[in-house]
Amino acid sequence: MIIADDHPAFVEGLRFWLTEIGIDVVGAARNADELIALVRADPPDVAITDISMPPGFDDEGLRAAETLTAVQPDVAVLVLSAYREPEWATRLLHRRPSRVGYLLKHNVTDAARLGEALERITQGGVAIDPEIVADLVARRSVTAALESLTDREQLVLTHAAQGRSNRGIATVLGIAERTVENHITRLFQKLDLPDGNQRVLAILEWQKAQGQRAHGSR
C-alpha cells in the first residue's frame, strides 16, 4: 500500500487504520509526482491518494490516478477527496472503470469502512461514496428503472458493475460481444440516461439499488 497526501497527520491516521486491518504501508508520497515514482519503482496492490495536493492544490491526485491507469493498470487506486464533486468521480470512472474508488474524506470514519472499499476495488470493482452516487442519480427512481430490465440485461449490467469490459462480459456469459453491446444499448435506453458517461451512470444506479435493497432487508 502506498499513500499520497500532503497532511502528515492524515497519513498517520490512515496508516493506523490500515495496520488495524492487516495492511502494510510500504511508502508515503507528498505529491502526485512522488506517488507515480513510488508506484513505478515498486508497484503495490493499492495506492491511496488525496485529490488536492501540491503544487497547485487542484486535481493533482485525480490526474495521478489517470496516469497510473496507463502505466500500472493492475494497481488499484482509491481517491480520497474533501470536495463533493460528482464530475470528478464521473471523470475518474470514465478513464478507469474498474479497480478504483472515490470516497469523501469525512465519510472515511473507521478502519472497517476503509477496508470494505479496499476489498471491493482490489477484487476488480468500484467503490463510490454514497453522497456522490446520490448527487449523480438524484431524484431518479432507480429501483423501478432497473426492474424494467430483462434478466439478461440485469446480468450484463451486474458484470459491468464488477469492472468487466464488453469483451469480458461476452466471455463470461458465452455470447457474442455484439450481443453484449446490444444489451447495453437497450439498458441505457430503459434507464433513460443522458448522453455522455452512460456506462458509468448505469453502474452507479446499479450500486445505489444494491444499497437500497441491502438497507431494506435489514
CATH number at residue 92: 3.40.50.2300
Q: Residue 155 has which C-alpha cell? A: 446480468
Residues 123 and 24 in one domain: yes
**Number of domains the chain contains:** 2
Task: Measure the CA–CA gap between 32 and 21, rounded to whole angstroms.
Answer: 26
Q: What is the CA radius of gyration of the chain?
A: 18
Residues 9 and 104 in one domain: yes
pLDDT at 216 over 90: no
Residues 104-118: what's their mean pLDDT?
A: 86
The pLDDT assigned to 87 comes to: 80
Residues 176 and 126 in one domain: no
Examine the fold and report which residue of 118, 135, 152 is the final residue of a domain before the chain moves on. 135
Query: Domain with 203 in it: what CATH number?
Result: 1.10.10.10
Residues 58 and 90 in one domain: yes
Residues 73 and 113 in one domain: yes
Examine the fold and report which residue of 89, 112, 135 is the final residue of a domain before the chain moves on. 135
pLDDT digits (tens, 9 = 90+) for 170-181: 999 999 999 999
Examine the fold and report which residue of 115, 135, 155 is the final residue of a domain before the chain moves on. 135
Region of poorest pLDDT, from 11-25, 27-41, 133-147, 148-162: 133-147
Residues 158 and 113 in one domain: no
The pLDDT assigned to 217 comes to: 47
The pLDDT assigned to 93 comes to: 82
pLDDT band at 138 (very low <50, low <70, confident <90, very high): low
The pLDDT assigned to 177 comes to: 93
pLDDT at 25 over 60: yes
Q: Collapsing DSSP states into helix, strand and coil, what is residue 51? A: coil
Residues 24-39: what's their mean pLDDT?
A: 94
Residues 52 and 99 in one domain: yes
The pLDDT assigned to 212 comes to: 55
Residues 96-119: what's their mean pLDDT?
A: 87
Residues 200 and 110 in one domain: no
Range of the domain at 148: 142-216
Q: Collapsing DSSP states into helix, strand and coil, what is residue 188? A: helix
The pLDDT assigned to 124 comes to: 87
The pLDDT assigned to 139 comes to: 45
pLDDT band at 218 (very low <50, low <70, confident <90, very high): very low
Phi and psi, residue 154, nearest 5°: -65, -40
Region of poorest pLDDT, from 4-8, 74-78, 118-122, 124-128: 124-128
Residues 67 and 163 in one domain: no
Residues 77 and 129 in one domain: yes
Mean pLDDT, the chain, integer: 83
Residues 65 and 119 in one domain: yes
Q: Per the omega criterion (within 30 degrees of 0), is the bond before 55 cis?
A: yes
pLDDT digits (tens, 9 = 90+) for 51-92: 988 888 889 999 999 999 889 999 999 999 988 887 888 888
Strands (E), the chain: 2-4, 27-29, 46-50, 76-81, 100-104, 126-128
Residues 131 and 146 in one domain: no
